Structure 1
Amino acid sequence: MNTLELKNSVIAKINEIHDRDFLLAIKTIIDAKTSKDYSSTDYNNDILKAEEDIANGYLVSHEEIKAKMEQWKKK
């Protein structure tokens, strides 16, 4: 499978996913790979956002993540 075929395959699979949390995780990975100007300011803003999420209780335990991963594997 060449790069173009692989990209198209990944895009097709992503289009089948409706799990918002999973899509956000994919977006984070893609953003990190494609960001050319990720500065210390961006990093600090991301840390502040993460701390805000924690303070607001937007947490997912390791066990919950493992369970979700098992569900994704079955699909």
Structure 2
Amino acid sequence: MAVKMRLRRMGQKKAPFYRIIVADSRSPRDGKFIAEVGTYDPNCDPSAISVDEEAARKWLANGAQPTEAVAKILKAAGIEK
């Protein structure tokens, strides 16, 4: 099973809010997921990022692959692979 860290879209139309989740790569974008490790709100200035560092590091160590967007967010939060 390939596990990915990716964004799950929440919020209203034209006002997106994202949760950073760990999910099976075959599940749909807003479908079933394994764990939630943080949030990302691009509507604030600057963008609001909240990440559970311990959980994110654990999933990265266990082999979860972040998407490009999540990798940028984790880098901004100070979490490197």
TM-score (norm 2): 0.25
Q: Which structure is higher in RCO with an 8 Å CA cutoff and minimum separation 6?
A: 2
Higher-strand-fraction structure? 2
Higher-Rg structure is 1
